[in-house]
A and B are shown apart, each in its own frame.
Chain A
């Protein structure tokens, strides 16, 4: 079984640029979560979807962040414009039926 697939694995870009992170969930999983991990704050929930609908986006830091899930097979997290403080590892995780969340390998984002 293919796990949660995230792309790109690494992204380095200059501040002010638009960044798009992508996630392909495990087939059949109807919950999708976006997390951010930093040394200072640890792992934080940004937003999650159920059946492609955003349920809780209270963790999204500011209007520069947006997330979409156009279908059951794909989600994006976009940062526009990016800032150096957005540098972090971004994880996508998916689950179904109150089962444990399965995490992707993450995208390591560096904003210069």
Chain B
């Protein structure tokens, strides 16, 4: 079965600083999803990557999927308090619309 390892597990960043979260898969990624979760709430979809080398951006968040499709990174530029939360990467194990396998998450704290 596919496993996703996220690093770091937790991150404390001063407001305004940049940061990167990584997600490494034990198998080739057919689709990689990034979600954000605020404590006590559901998951909010951020971005989906499917092609090796693909890069997507939304506001100050950029996600990339490496060429070999086994690792993805999420980069936040000029972090803000609103970026605080848990970031989860999720992947489909095959080419279909299966349920997602998730990493354990990265807890992000933004210090003012």
Give B96's nearest chain A residue, CB to CB: A98
Cβ of B104 < 8 Å from any Cβ of A? Answer: yes
B99 touches A45 (CB 8 A): yes
Q: Which of A14-22, A63-71, A79-87, A103-111 contacts B (4 or more CB under 8 A)?
A: A103-111
Tell me the smallest distance from the CB of A71 to a CB of chain B, in Å.
20
Pick the contact of B100: A45, A98, A104, A108 (CB < 8 A).
A45
B104 nearest in chain A by CB position = A42
Chain A interface, DSSP helix/strand/loop, else mixed: strand
- Kindly list chain A residues whose C-beta atoms are within 8 Å of the C-beta of B90: 43
> CA–CA, A73 to B55, complex, Å?
35
Contact status A100-B33, CB under 8 Å: yes
Interchain residue pairs with CB less than 8 A apart (15): A42-B105, A45-B101, A48-B98, A48-B99, A59-B99, A100-B33, A100-B48, A101-B33, A101-B100, A102-B45, A103-B42, A105-B42, A106-B41, A106-B42, A108-B40
Does B43 sit at the interface, judged by CB under 8 A?
yes
Binding site for A on B (CB under 8 A): 31, 33, 35, 40-45, 48, 88, 90, 97-105
Residue positions of A touching B, CB distance < 8 A: 4, 31, 33, 35, 42-45, 48, 50, 56, 59, 91, 93, 95, 98, 100-106, 108
Using CB atoms, name the residue of chain B closest to A97. B97
Residues in A neighbouring B100, C-beta threshold 8 A: 33, 45, 101
A contact residues around B48 at 8 Å (CB): 100
Q: Is the CB of A43 within 8 A of B41?
A: no
